[in-house]
């Protein structure tokens, strides 16, 4: 169980922390439209993950 938690933490660190450091490091160089596109991308990712999580039980029941 601990190894699974470590793997999940490493994946989250890679996806969130490293990504945010790259973006925030270039904070002065990013135009506002770029921030809007990045935010829109995160919203789209959250919607996709949520739809998979909520749709998975229906797919499992149909199989």
Domain check: are 18 and 40 in the same one? no
C-alpha 50/C-alpha 42 separation (Å) is 12
Kindly report the number of other CB atoms within 10 A of residue 38's CB atom.
13
Domain check: are 23 and 5 in the same one? yes
Decide if pLDDT at 8 tops 70: yes
pLDDT in tens, 18-57: 666 666 666 566 677 777 888 898 899 999 999 999 998 8
Domain check: are 40 and 17 in the same one? no
Tokens of 17: 């922390």
- Residue 20 near residue 27 (C-beta atoms within 8 A): no
Q: Residue written as tokens 């199989």? A: 63
Task: Give the distance from CA 49 to its chain's centroid.
Answer: 9
Report phi then psi at 36, rounded to 5: -65, -40
pTM score above 0.75:
no
Domain check: are 8 and 23 in the same one? yes
Domains contained in the chain, number = 2
Domain range for 59 is 31-63
């Amino acid at each position: 169980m601990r190894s699974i938690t470590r793997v999940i933490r490493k994946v989250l660190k890679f996806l969130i922390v490293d990504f945010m450091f790259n973006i925030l490091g270039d904070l002065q160089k990013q135009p506002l439209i770029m921030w809007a596109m990045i935010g829109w991308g995160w919203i789209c990712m959250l919607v996709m993950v949520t739809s998979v999580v909520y749709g998975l039980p229906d797919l499992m029941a149909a199989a």
